[in-house]
Structures are given as structure tokens and as C-alpha cells.
Amino acid sequence: MLNVTVLVSGGGTNLQALLDAQSRGEIKGGRIHCVISSRPDAYALQRARNAGIDTEIIIRKDYATAEEYDKALVQLLKKHNTDLIVLAGFMTIIGKSVVEAYPNRIINVHPALIPSFCGKGYYGLRVHQAVLDAGVKVTGATVHFVNEVCDGGPILLQKAVEVQPDDTPETLQRRVMEQAEWRLLPRAVSLFCQGKIQVQNGKAMIKE
């Protein structure tokens, strides 16, 4: 069984989707065994405690430099024998040394169809506001491996979601979560833990 550590910062609905999938036996070959939060008040921590999962808190501003923070984060991940890292609404930038310590072993969920509405500054509700400002009719979610380029790693799974004429960023966020994120993320984690994902020439191949 692979040890999956989930990194969170906020409400933790994606973490909840993973925990629910785990209790239904849908995360094959792995188990969510640790949750690390960038904020002590993240509701995601409560969700982890409710599920009896170990929690840790690591705050960027407690470290003088990004390098020191990255080093401490890697130590924490190693302490928990992490095999796979899942960024589930984790809002702190992780640096090169973390990516190098876990090559193609960090998965992120992004609330848009990469390469649209992604990169620096595109996170949370800002992504959905940008989608509405652009007037596109379809958005969605992407699960991808994390590399040194922000939102630029190999894409694992994507799902399209319709934008409605009366959407607000909040209603659109909810639909993207319900129809895409909460389904894709547990599926991607299970595929990874079963060894069904391979990366060739910078692209991810899924063997289902």
C-alpha cells in the first residue's frame, strides 16, 4: 500500500472526496495516511481528524526563506514515509527541491482546463472569475503531475463543465467541484497507487 499525504489550505472538500472514496474502497493500492495544512484554521484539518488521520501544520511565514520552508516540508513528508503527495487546494508555492525529491509523485487538482486559466495568480475563486470575465462557455478541472512550471506538469485527467449564463464565481466553483474535481482526484490517486500511470516524453499515459 502506498502512503498518500494530502496537502491542504482551506475547506478541504477535495480531501473529503478522497476520504469518501477511500471508505468506499475506491482508492486501490494506497491509503490517505497524513494531512498537512498550510493554515492552522483550515477546516480540512477537522475533516482529517474526523477520519482519524494524522495531521501536521507547516506555515510558510515561520521560515525565513523559501529554501528553508521547502527543506522542512520535505522532512515532514519523509517523516510520514510519503509515497504520493496530493495538493488538494494547497495555496503555498512549493519549490524546486520538493519537486526534485518527489519527481512525478506530486499530483495537483486545478479548477480549469489547463492550459487555459492557469499559472501564477490563478487559484481558487480567481480562476472562476477569470473564466466568467472571458465569457467562455466551457470550463472544467484538470489533475496533473507537478513539475517546476506552475500548473505545467503532465496532465493526468480532465473533465469539461458547462458555464451557465447566470453563474457567479461561487456557483461555477461549486459545479466544477461537483461535476469534475471530486470525481477526477480520487480516480487519479487510485490509478497512481495501482501503478497505472507512466510518463513518456513529458506526457502522462494511463493504462486502465
User: Counting contacts by CB under 6 A, is residue 147 touching ligand GAR?
Assistant: no
Among 109, 130, 146, 191, binds ligand GAR (CB under 6 A): 109
- Give me the half-sphere count of Cα atoms (radius 13 Å) on the Cβ side of residue 115: 4
Instruction: Pick out residues in 110-139 that bind ligand GAR (CB under 6 A).
Output: 110-111, 123-124, 127
Q: Which is nearer to ligand GAR, 68 or 148 (CB)?
A: 148
Q: Which residues contact 169 (CB under 8 A, 6 or more apart)?
A: 125, 128, 129, 132
Instruction: Kindly state the smallest distance separating residue 144's Cβ from ligand GAR, in Å.
Output: 11
Widest Cα–Cα separation across the chain: 48
How far are the Cα atoms of 34, 84, 160 from residue 13, in angstroms, in the given order?
16, 19, 19
Helix axes 182-193, 13-23, angle to 10 degrees: 50
Instruction: Kindly state the smallest distance separating residue 64's Cβ from ligand GAR, in Å.
Output: 25
Among 10, 140, 153, 154, binds ligand GAR (CB under 6 A): 10
What is the grid cell recorded at 47?
Answer: 475533516
Binding mask 16-45 for ligand GAR (x = CB under 6 A): ----------------------------x-
The catalytic position among 33, 110, 128, 144 is 110
Binding mask 45-84 for ligand GAR (x = CB under 6 A): ----------------------------------------
User: Counting contacts by CB under 6 A, is residue 140 touching ligand GAR?
Assistant: no
Q: Which is nearer to ligand GAR, 150 or 199 (CB)?
A: 150
Find the DSSP H helices in the chain: 13-23, 43-50, 66-79, 96-101, 125-134, 169-176, 182-193
Q: Which is nearer to ligand GAR, 30 or 175 (CB)?
A: 175
User: Counting contacts by CB under 6 A, is residue 175 touching ligand GAR?
Assistant: no
Contact between residue 204 and residue 145 where contact means Cβ atoms under 8 Å apart: yes
Cα 168 to Cα 180: distance, rounded to the nearest angstrom:
18
Instruction: Kindly state the smallest distance separating residue 16's Cβ from ligand GAR, in Å.
Output: 8
How far are the Cα atoms of 50, 80, 114, 116, 120 from residue 132, in angstroms, in the given order?
36, 40, 16, 13, 18
Q: Which is nearer to ligand GAR, 70 or 181 (CB)?
A: 181
Q: Provide the binding-site residues for ligand GAR, judged by CB under 6 A.
A: 8, 10-14, 44, 88-89, 109-111, 123-124, 127, 177, 181
